[in-house]
Amino acid sequence: MRISVFALLLLPGCLSAQVTALKIGHLVNPENGTVAANQVVLIENGKFTAIGTNVPIPSSATQIDLSQYYVSPGLVDAHNHLALTYKDEPEHNSYYLTTVMDSTAIRAIQAVSNGITMMNAGFTMVRDLGNNGNYADTALRVAIEQGWVPGPTIINSGIIIGGFGGQFYPVPERESLIEPEYLNADTNDEIVKAVRRNILYGAKVIKICVDCKPYGYTADEMRLFISEAAKAGLKVAGHVQTHAGALRAIDAGIWSVEHSGALDDETHKLMAKKGIWRVGTETPFTSYHTNTPGAKQRFDRQVEGMKNAYANHVNMAFSTDADYYIPGMDRGQVVIDFLKSWQAAQIPAPEILKIMTVNGYKVSDLYEKRGLIKVGFPADLIAVRGNPLEDLDTLRDVRFVMKDGIFFKKDGVMVPGPFFHSGPVPPSAWRIH
């Protein structure tokens, strides 16, 4: 492959070899629940190059004083839909309206805005699991990776693959509504083709409807999904809504079970045994829908499920399924408010912080590459006023956010760094690698 000198000049690493030095009062390690005092962190070319107490600061370095703050790795929402916002309450299934009324183009722009609010709330990584029109999620990921717009690291699924109809129930006259929200795949050939289609159009994880219809996928069909996705190094996330579907997905060895409504003590034990991720998406917003009968009972049931999963040592991920609008709140504020569910489950704060960070990188399959504050890793981090190992609510007021060594927020105010390049779409934008 030929690459022009002009293209090389556009590579971020060539922009500057400037060193940034962060003076950190309290550096939180969520892996072991410890805090190191008075640390210096050096960043060059978007990566951590030195971390410690006695790190000399080069005289030419840009110095940032975070000595009053607790600094943590960035947060992860393991299940979101950045290019989807319901036009009405979710109970009314109004994302049919989104499909009919919102173009993929407008949804992609909305996704940029949602991504910015996620960063503002401290979320530097998001698994974006479908319902994004015609690959608005890939467009968002590429725009962020190219530095055109600020936003979290995106692990996107492309289009959700399901048995005929996906999660939709169209009338025969409106069958085309299924697309672009779902890829129909009812036979082995169609399963292989649908996985390949998503990979070609930029998916980083494969999302399937395990049991959205009575003709849900068998364990063998899911094994086919898993083996086909693995050829491109991708994992398979399964939307699960029935106990039988959960058992089949666990039997197949799926990477993650999305949603927790169908999970119980039996499935939790099996998931723990196999190390399958539980991406529970327990919403505290049942209480917002005060007219919904049984809202409190639903919330309590979710919390009991979280307690059971935690007691059974299931791999748990902080996740929201946020795809709706709560008046007065942006997407990032909606997402961080899911702390309520975790706090109600009385899981210890250090464990919740680990779930929101370390487990997020793991379920995103980026644990070895991104997230932790480690030499050689991309420079992503957040700062808050209090110790999140003791008081998680301090995460509701993120004061500082950095991603890839670029400031996004300082002193509680968004100050996006040099994101806004006006360069061309790179030839690799839609390529697999």
Q: Which residue is nearest to Zn ion (CB)?
A: 321
The interface region with Zn ion, picked from 14-22, 90-98, 316-324, 359-367 by CB under 5 A, is 316-324
Residues 6+ apart with CB under 8 A from 328: none
Type of residue at 40: V
Written as six digits, the tokens of 389 are 């190992």
CA–CA separation, 62 and 410 (whole Å): 14
Nearer to Zn ion, 44 or 128 (CB): 128
Least separation in angstroms between residue 414's CB and Zn ion is 27
Nearer to Zn ion, 181 or 221 (CB): 181
Least separation in angstroms between residue 321's CB and Zn ion is 4
Least separation in angstroms between residue 90's CB and Zn ion is 10
The interface region with Zn ion, picked from 31-39, 299-307, 313-321, 324-332 by CB under 5 A, is 313-321
Nearest to 258 by CA among 300, 309, 297, 316: 316
Binding characters for Zn ion, 263-302, by CB under 5 A (x = yes): ----------------------------------------
- Asked if 401 and 393 touch (Cβ cutoff 8 Å), the reply is no
CA–CA separation, 78 and 356 (whole Å): 9
Least separation in angstroms between residue 1's CB and Zn ion is 37
Nearer to Zn ion, 236 or 382 (CB): 236
Nearer to Zn ion, 44 or 181 (CB): 181
Least separation in angstroms between residue 129's CB and Zn ion is 5
Nearer to Zn ion, 148 or 288 (CB): 288
CA–CA separation, 271 and 254 (whole Å): 10
CA–CA separation, 251 and 220 (whole Å): 9
Nearest to 382 by CA among 60, 22, 61: 22
Residue 137 lies near Zn ion (rule: CB under 5 A) = no
Q: Using CA of residue 209, residue 366, residue 133, residue 185, what is the dihedral sign?
A: negative
The interface region with Zn ion, picked from 134-142, 223-231, 315-323, 336-344 by CB under 5 A, is 315-323
Residue 181 lies near Zn ion (rule: CB under 5 A) = no
Written as six digits, the tokens of 358 are 């370390």
Nearer to Zn ion, 137 or 321 (CB): 321
Total number of residues that touch Zn ion (CB under 5 A): 1
The interface region with Zn ion, picked from 107-115, 212-220, 320-328, 340-348 by CB under 5 A, is 320-328
Least separation in angstroms between residue 432's CB and Zn ion is 24
Count other C-beta atoms under 10 Å from residue 88's C-beta.
13
Nearer to Zn ion, 280 or 378 (CB): 280
Q: What is the dihedral of CA 119, 122, 127, 130, to 10 degrees?
A: -50
Which residues on neighbouring strands pair with residue 43, listed in sequence order? Answer: 20, 48
The interface region with Zn ion, picked from 44-52, 205-213, 321-329, 396-404 by CB under 5 A, is 321-329
Residue 321 lies near Zn ion (rule: CB under 5 A) = yes
Beta strands in 103-250 (DSSP E): 123-128, 153-156, 160-162, 182-184, 206-209, 236-239
Count other C-beta atoms under 10 Å from residue 346's C-beta.
10
Positions touching Zn ion (CB under 5 A) are 321
